[in-house]
Structure 1
Amino acid sequence: MGSMEEVLTCPMCRDLFGPGYPLPCGHSFCPNCVWDIWGQTQGSSSIRGRFACPQCQEDQAVVACDCCPEENGEAGSACSAVKSCLRCEVSLCEQHLQPHLQCPAYSTHLLVDPLMDMSHRRCPAHREVFRYYCLDDREYICADCILEGSHAQHQVKGLRNLQEDYKVSVQSLFNQAEDKMKSGARILQEHEKSSSNLIGSFVADDSQMVRLGSALQAQVDILVEALKNVNEQERQLAFSRLEEDLGRTKGGLEQTESAHRYLGSLLQETDPFLLIWAFQSEHSKLVADLTSPLFTPGQPSMNKKRILEHVEQKYREFISETLRCLIELKRDLLSSPLTLDTNSAHQLLSVSDDQLSVKRLKSRLPHTDHPDRFDHWSQVVTNQTFSSGTHYWELEAEGFWDIAVTYHSIDRKGKEGTAFGCNKVSWSLSSMTESLRRGTTERKHISLLRCAEADWRSRWTMPPDRSPSQRWGHQPPCSPCTSSAPTSLSPCAWASASINQSSTARSPSSGKHD
């Protein structure tokens, strides 16, 4: 039992392991230690990438050629070996290697990197070179081991054949690793691009917040200034009333003082004829002045009710402008530009470099064939798809065109069943001269919407709770609605002039955005 534990104990980490990794020298190690030593060896330039046994390796000197003559009994005068032949059990320099490379008799000999000691590559029982490998016992064996029958009924392979088999597996794993590296690099590139876009959106969001704050502050300043103006106007009106009342009060007092002075002068008059004449001529006027009531001004005050009415009006204007700013912010934050899929674009369509606009050409472009490319109709779909949520699209178009929503599974090749709006997997809004036509496969249900201008700007919404096989309608511009399509839908276009895709926006309550 103790000897079995010793055999199954890794000489490096001293842990027990199952089927180990036997090396040509006969030593076995646990997989973890083998991989650790392999990584260290690959990082060492002095070993030139060779795998040396961690247990029996010695300081490696230059391997000398076994066929070079020794001068003065010194082995150091021999040339350095470049290969070792496992069949001949000799190390060969560049010159003595040539027969192995040129003579057909040596074609079956296995050449490896120079080995300092090849004794570990011989069978300890028969002193023969290992030429086979037992897959069941996972050990190297020689021809005599096979003849003795110790590996009867075992799966045995020659080292060269096993090497070729493993090379096939290694090549497959290498290709798999290479593909995974490419996928990882692509994912990393996309992630870095997404990170860059996210950082850019952070900066844009900050700018939008600053603009919103400035706009709101401007509206607050306008409101405060308006309220100050209202208050100032009411103050001016109150001052005007006060001055008017003061003038009337002073006028009444001056009139009474004038009558008082006149009557006082009559009392001082000594001529009876003059007194009688003066009194009779001014009597009625004096009586009217003295019997008329004095003007009594009211309590000075401002018209608070009118001030409140003005304040309420200005505040409503402030709320309206604030909501407008918030709506613009919501639009900016939730908008997302749609990009056109160049792989799907027909050869008569030219997609802009930013993939935001497309126009029809007179001659075909030399596009390479692609499974997603439309080959008959001048159509193109977007890269983005939508499986749920509330979305609408804004675009600018001129000429003859179709704006459509389609399932991604729409056929791309041939004429039949591939035109937008002419099958059960798409719906389109078409321009016909100066009119718009909406339709699906039910062509008898056609509605014409008058278009006032050839250059038309449209806001178009995905209809609610409808699949493309049902009749959809052109929705009002300000009422985006929810789609419950069973699979993802792609906005798309057919063009005979030009279309500029502005953006897609969604409400905060919208669902998943694919």
Structure 2
Amino acid sequence: MASEDKPHLEVLLTCPVCQDIFKEPRLLPCGHSMCMGCLEGMIDHSDLPFRCPDCRACFGPVIGVQKSFSLSNIAEDYRDNWKDKNKKTEVVYCDCCPERQELANKTCLQCEVSLCKEHIRDHLERPAFTGHPLVSPLGDLERRKCPLHDDEVLRYYCKASRDATSATSVPWRPRRGSRLLRPTQPCTLTSLDMNTASAYLKVSPDLHTVERVKTKLTYPSEPLRFEAAPQVLSTQCFTRGTHSWELEAEGYWDIAVSYKSIDRKRRDVSNFGMNAQSWSLTCNARGQLSTYHNKKRKVLSAALKHKRRIAVTVNFEEGVITFSEVGSKLTQLNEYQTKLSQPVCLGVGLYRVDPPSRASIVKVL
């Protein structure tokens, strides 16, 4: 839209560099403002003395800037109001079949694309897409971008990133390839699927930790959500290759390998290990270990300490599922030999509030 066609308020809220509504605006010493990302980009890619793009005022090697809180709030409100007006008519289509305009089934926050049921299969099955978070279809990813981590999605990285960039001066500033601007959490870490999480499980914002809660949480209704058991599956499922995870767990927990097709709604048959679709390692409140598959229990003689790490390995082609304790070396606890014929996922179940029960995915091997 040309500037002369824009409402006057929108013109006032437009960054002189990117010509979009301000995002994290910073106030320059001359009184003009620009987006923090635009300011960083100009500093990173200019060997000349920095000049204000509005008035051409020249500044020294250290630029004193402030976060313009009022301008930031006004710009955010304007953006939200604009989105609310268009929300009712927003339809998200698959980015991989624009000619057919198929409705999107999921949006990948890592690839920043929306995918229909056909094109989402690779993300669910291929190892190359391990760690790609999938959410309900989104028409706009821009508001989820983290200002510190450039092209990373805000909800999966630092919680206080916006506060951290409210800063006062820009000397020390690292170039765009610098490690200081990269996320501290590996993007390939397997994530938990919020669409499967029981309402009695609280999942962390980074989708790597889950905790059992006493009061039922308010989650949107989903056909894939566990209702009869306090369990959750990973977003990623596999139909080939060897995959290993390390988890740290405490309390009364269940770590499992499960077919994606496991029942989610019926009591007694949806618990991990109580059906033919899952294989589990369980630790009860006393620290006793057992394995379950198809309602068959095997009590293990090994006992773990209060803080415990478990490794799970799946070799799809050979049909081998191994549970091991992680210490100075891996100590095998149990191995299943089976024939895997469907996509398999990592699963976590937390069955008691007392003792406090939680589990975290800490490593992908």
TM-score (norm 2): 0.46
Q: Higher RCO, 1 or 2 (CA under 8 Å, sep at least 6)? A: 2
TM-score (norm 1): 0.33
Considering fraction of residues, name the structure with more helix: 1
Considering fraction of residues, name the structure with more strand: 2
Q: Higher Cα Rg: structure 1 or 2? A: 1
